[in-house]
Amino acid sequence: MTPPRVDRRLLTIYLSDHVAGATGAISRSRRMARAYGETPLGGPIGGFADELERERAVLLGLAEGLGVRLSRWKSVGAAVGERLGRVKPNGRLTSASPLSALLELELLRGGVNAKRGLWDSLASWSDALGLERGRFEELDRRGVAQIELLERLAAVARDRVAAGAHDVRDA
């Protein structure tokens, strides 16, 4: 059931949180694309990052069209948090671990699941917000394809971990 109206304050917080999440995911995906550029992960992750950029632009345009002022601090915080998240023990002192790629892909998959929730919420509020429901249903379908991609890439990373590869770049 569609509410007669959507609380603008809560909508602002909700959209700000998702834009911040997208900002962090884009930063992580771009770093992964650079780090794994010559592996089976690099190209697909780069394409995934491009899709995230386009979706973030959709969110920014949506917020602007609705007259919602997003929190810049949340996006700045997400970008800083993503960079701090890179500084974590990985079982190796001076080199990458194959676990890093697997964990990063699992993290991104969780983010895509959360984003699918956003598209579902916006679809259910579309009448109240004066938006086209089909737009969000299509974005949700893209989210399903993104999860499938991330699962395929995680299988590659998982195989490298099981084989005891030095890192995901090892053949």
Q: What is the pLDDT of residues 9-38, one digit of tens each?
A: 999 999 999 999 999 999 999 999 999 988
Q: Smallest Cα–Cα separation from 145: which of 36, 51, 31, 38?
A: 51
pLDDT tens track for 124-153: 999 999 999 999 999 999 999 999 999 999
Residue 60: burial class (beta carbons within 10 Å; 0-12, 13-18, 19+): middle
d(CA 59, CA 44): 23
Evaluate if pTM is beyond 0.95: no
8 Å CB contact between 96 and 39: no
Domains present along the chain, CATH in parentheses: 8-162 (1.20.1260)
Distance CA 6, CA 1 (A): 12
Is pLDDT of 92 > 50?
no
The closest alpha carbon to 33, from 144, 153, 163, belongs to: 153
With 60 as the cut, is the pLDDT of residue 75 above it?
no
